Structure 1
């Protein structure tokens, strides 16, 4: 217990230094410390091993930190520099990449995707209706995730305990051996081209392209492949050049080779049992590896972009990114929950029924969310490294969210940018 408390103090010092850069008042720093102490207390009894958080207003990072355990085997602590896969929050990068490619004159949102692809993709029920890039990034392409996608997308990093790991239940997905790894292009071609090895008419809904919202991981990754083909640059390099490096997200990347693996947190089935290390073939739709520190920079940029002050896209592009694209007739079962990110869609950015926006993510052993409160000008990041416990994780999450909201008000009022 003493070691965990010491971690909280050390983590606070690191967070205070990186967040304030000695520009804030003593009261501001003391408020950060109070938040750290309260979150440390939650971490001691939380249902997940480790978690990371970040808070921003529209001008600066107010708080970033990590709590609990990153690695049970080594007893490594979860800090703001712990690396994790953020799952489907990664899709928000696809929208930025598409709009950056459009700014560069390489594509247009309303172009047919087939204009850039080396294979043909069409809904067999509507072969004459082109699937556009806009359809892909608003989840209205009529492309749906099949069992072939779900069963082939996750690939193990190594062959250690291979037989056991291949049989771990991660339904509806499953783990595949390293030998199953293939390129993004080949993966999507096999799923979507009529000559593809895993092609099925069930890979497309009965809806006309552009008409109905149907969340699609495959469609999102296809948009990333369009960026590759339109720009002549791999998606990971394009996004690194135009998004990650400009935002100084130096601890982030799309593969284990691109990050400091010594800072990587395994994900866990429960608080004792780790999952094997895995990656995604369709990595654009869920494979960004990053830290709470880097994500604080990312959500700060998105908050600024929403208000017309972003740096990686023009005001016009950000306006498109944050404009709800769909109407009631585009939905069959429309969630009206305040915190759902599927009430409407921007360009890969989800909107709740109140107009607040963000994106959630989930893969074996982890859950993540970014969420923005437009009237408060507040951005929040939260990630855990352990499977969700339906009895207790929601309570832990609420306690953390309540603290973040409470201390956002305090920190924002004390922020050097609000003076």
Structure 2
């Protein structure tokens, strides 16, 4: 480990001092904070077994002022992390997906405020709980279309089980909530955006993103993971105990399967801050970049979703544009202060890297802007103890659907701390962890769902989220299983409940 740390420090010091491997990048060493304390923080995390590989970049004033890699990108292969190592971005893929769609909007191929179903064709969103045509393209990219959350990873032996994007929308593309009314982080929404883009162009989405975003912006280290030949150059993924996680893909590639280096991500940040860099094609003019960043849904804390991003504000009113990513073996962060033309990004290949990402970005950004405060990472409401109200109390009956499942559901909310859920003809199970999230009721129960995916994965822990809508309770049940640090699944099933007639 000492050898690795010394090599890491020596190999990348030139970039820290002002050098760059990219001839198109002008790296300024003037008026730059001293990053030694941040480097020490990362070295200590690696030495104490709290990180495996880390890559950092800082962009300021239209150039990269620091980029460096630390530790192992792939320890088993002897591959060290550098500023040019491609890491899985996880959900930082989403701004790239949104940018791909925005290039099509700029060309007049689609309208962001059109119904998504206008472009989804045979893979249309279904409106089990609301009019599906109210789910627009823009709402899909802002996590407020009404589609629920979802995640599943497939190892190499399971890859054949992964659904194509169109089939996934047909199986799981049902609205759980009224479009625009409720924030829920939705990977399915970005799968739908990929289907729209492919329908309009006839191209595989990874190829489309490469042609429209990655190549024009000169992001040579970046690739969609359908580029199998390039995977060996990318960072492997590790669990919190520093054990390698076998390679996997996910159920929604357009939401999280882009690989990029810290160097490339810095250039993407500079593009988003309207720096017109030499030898970079102007894929969007300033008007369309503004459209990417325009708030769509503002949460209680003031954090808002945009088309692919989140945005918050400092006390002075200065805007913060950001996106984080996390999944087994991945934790990533990107924060931008456009008013300062400043961005910090951290990529790690560990499930538990989120805290380190935050510490690094917070130190870097505070060294430039003393008022820096990290925004909340969600536009959703905070949780509180559930207090039963007449709109939720009592007995409810209805149906659960998705993935060919169609099951009777019985819910009984007796009090603020007592409720049960029954699926099909099974006995009722107690709901624990009852909470309120804004206007939503949430809780956890258990039960078997008669769908192919739930049976295959053994997903029997049920996470419930319901809101009151026109005298009914509508929402979803997530059937979950596994360890989110290693391998896990969250399958969404839409439910509509009403009071039984007496």
- CA distance 1:190–1:125, change in 2 (3 Å): closer
Task: Map 1:238-317 onto structure 2 (within 5 A).
Answer: 238-255=208-225, 257=227, 260-304=230-274, 311-317=282-288
Q: Is the counterpart of residue 186 in structure 1 residue 172 in structure 2?
A: no
- CA distance 1:38–1:398, change in 2 (3 Å): same
C-alpha deviation, 1:360, in angstroms: 0.8
Hey, which of these two has a bigger chunk of helix by percent? 1
- Greater relative contact order structure (CA < 8 Å, 6+ sep): 1
Tell me the distance in 2 between the aligned counterparts of 1:372 and 1:360: 12
Task: Map 1:195-234 onto structure 2 (within 5 A).
Answer: 203-205=174-176, 207-234=177-204
C-alpha deviation, 1:400, in angstroms: 2.5
Query: TM-score if structure 1 supplies the norm length?
Result: 0.76
C-alpha deviation, 1:398, in angstroms: 5.3
Query: TM-score if structure 2 supplies the norm length?
Result: 0.64
C-alpha deviation, 1:9, in angstroms: 0.8
Q: Is the counterpart of residue 134 in structure 1 residue 138 in structure 2?
A: yes
SS in 2 for 1:313: coil
Hey, which of these two has a bigger chunk of strand by percent? 2
SS in 2 for 1:304: coil
2:408 paired residue number = none
1:86 paired residue number = 89
Q: Is the counterpart of residue 373 in structure 1 residue 337 in structure 2?
A: yes
- CA distance 1:358–1:259, change in 2 (3 Å): farther
Task: Map 1:324-363 onto structure 2 (within 5 A).
Answer: 324-327=295-298, 331=299, 334-335=300-301, 343-354=303-314, 355-363=319-327
Task: Map 1:97-176 onto structure 2 (within 5 A).
Answer: 97-119=100-122, 120-127=124-131, 129-145=133-149, 149-150=150-151, 153-156=152-155, 158-159=156-157
Indicate the RMSD between aligned Cα atoms, in angstroms: 3.1
C-alpha deviation, 1:31, in angstroms: 5.5
2:364 paired residue number = 404
1:63 paired residue number = 66
Q: Which has the greater radius of gyration? A: 2
Question: Which 4+ residue blocks in structure 1 deviate beyond 4 angstroms?
Answer: 19-39, 396-399, 406-409
2:379 paired residue number = none
